[in-house]
């Protein structure tokens, strides 16, 4: 995360003959987007493809796996009691952020619009962004992969207590191969 824009810029500087596409998630964009300005300053053209699924999708699945109920992995105001409350969404206007830098930004809603925007981005000699809202963060599984992520020994919510019991059960099954 935070790597997509500076990496794209570096690639373009290394080889200006190539079109460089940077495929970036909403949260990664939030984490680091100021090198958009560096790209403009250096007159380096890159094409940003910004996909917005409304939050930290990969971390949401992980959070569900470890019993943390996806805490604060989506863009919502925190509830009054300090708990997650998925009622009041934050209003994040990504195209506006990009346009604030002076980046021509196309918002696309289907494959045709995406094709057209890509054509325009390729024809341009300036940094261009394409923004798409995609299916919202939803997955709550770990794609059948095992990832050893430690869980708290002491927890107060049932899902975390259960996740820790499962963590210990699986750890007991682990064997050293060397
Ligand atoms: C610097 C850094 N901090 C934290 C992480 C852990 N991390 C991996 S994916 C992710 C969320 C990414 O969200 P987004 O860019 O919106 O992509 P999505 O998973 O929603 O497709 C986080 C926090 C990371 N990989 N790098
Ligand atoms: Mg996301």
CATH number reported for the structural domain that contains residue 112 in this entry: 3.40.50.970
Residue 48 lies in a domain: yes
Let me know if residue 37 belongs to a domain.
yes
Spacing, Cα 109 to ligand 2 middle (Å)? 17
Q: Which residues contact 13 (CB under 8 A, 6 or more apart)?
A: 42, 44
The whole domain housing 119 covers 3-56+89-136
Atom of ligand 1 nearest to the CA of 28: 15
- The DSSP call for residue 77 is P
Residue 22 in domain: yes
Q: What is the pLDDT of residues 115-128, one digit of tens each?
A: 999 999 999 999 99
Task: Give pLDDT, residue 145.
Answer: 73
How does pLDDT run across 59-91, given as a tens digit for each residue?
Answer: 998 899 899 999 999 999 999 998 899 999 999
Query: Computed from CA positions of residues 24, 26, 30, 36, in that sequence, does the dihedral angle turn out positive or negative?
Result: positive
Q: 28 in ligand 1 pocket by Cβ < 6 Å?
A: yes
| 111 lies in some domain | yes
Count of domains in the chain?
1
106 burial level (CB within 10 Å; 0-12, 13-18, 19+):
middle
- Rounded mean pLDDT, 32-40: 97
Establish if 73 belongs to a structural domain: no
Position in ligand 1 atom list of the atom nearest CA 25: 15
Does 151 map to a domain? no
In what helix (H) or strand (E) does residue 131 lie, and over which residues does it extend? strand 128-133
**At which residue do the structure tokens 């059948």 appear?**
144
Averaged pLDDT for residues 109-113: 98
Q: What is the pLDDT of residues 126-169, one digit of tens each?
A: 999 999 999 998 876 767 777 888 999 999 999 999 999 999 99
**For the whole model, what pTM was predicted?**
0.91
147 or 99, greater pLDDT: 99
Give the number of whichever ligand sits closest to the CA of residue 31.
1
Lowest mean pLDDT among 9-18, 49-58, 85-94, 169-178: 169-178
Question: Is residue 26 in a domain?
Answer: yes
* Residue 42 placed within a domain: yes
């Amino acid at each position: 995360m935070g790597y997509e824009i500076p990496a794209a810029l570096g690639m373009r500087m290394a080889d200006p003959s190539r079109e460089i596409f940077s495929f970036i998630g909403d949260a990664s964009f939030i984490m680091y987007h100021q090198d958009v300005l560096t790209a403009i300053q250096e007159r380096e053209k890159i094409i940003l493809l910004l996909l917005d699924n409304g939050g930290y999708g990969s971390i949401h699945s992980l959070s569900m796996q470890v019993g943390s109920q996806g805490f604060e992995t989506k863009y919502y105001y925190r509830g009054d009691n300090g708990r997650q409350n998925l009622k009041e969404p934050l209003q994040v206007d990504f195209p506006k952020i990009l346009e604030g830098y002076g980046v021509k930004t196309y918002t696309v809603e289907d494959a045709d619009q995406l094709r057209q925007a890509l054509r325009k981005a390729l024809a341009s000699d300036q940094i261009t962004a394409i923004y798409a809202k995609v299916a919202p963060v939803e997955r709550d599984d770990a794609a059948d992969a095992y990832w050893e992520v430690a869980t708290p020994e002491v927890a107060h919510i049932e899902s975390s207590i259960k996740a820790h019991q499962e963590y210990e059960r699986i750890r007991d099954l682990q064997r050293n191969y060397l």
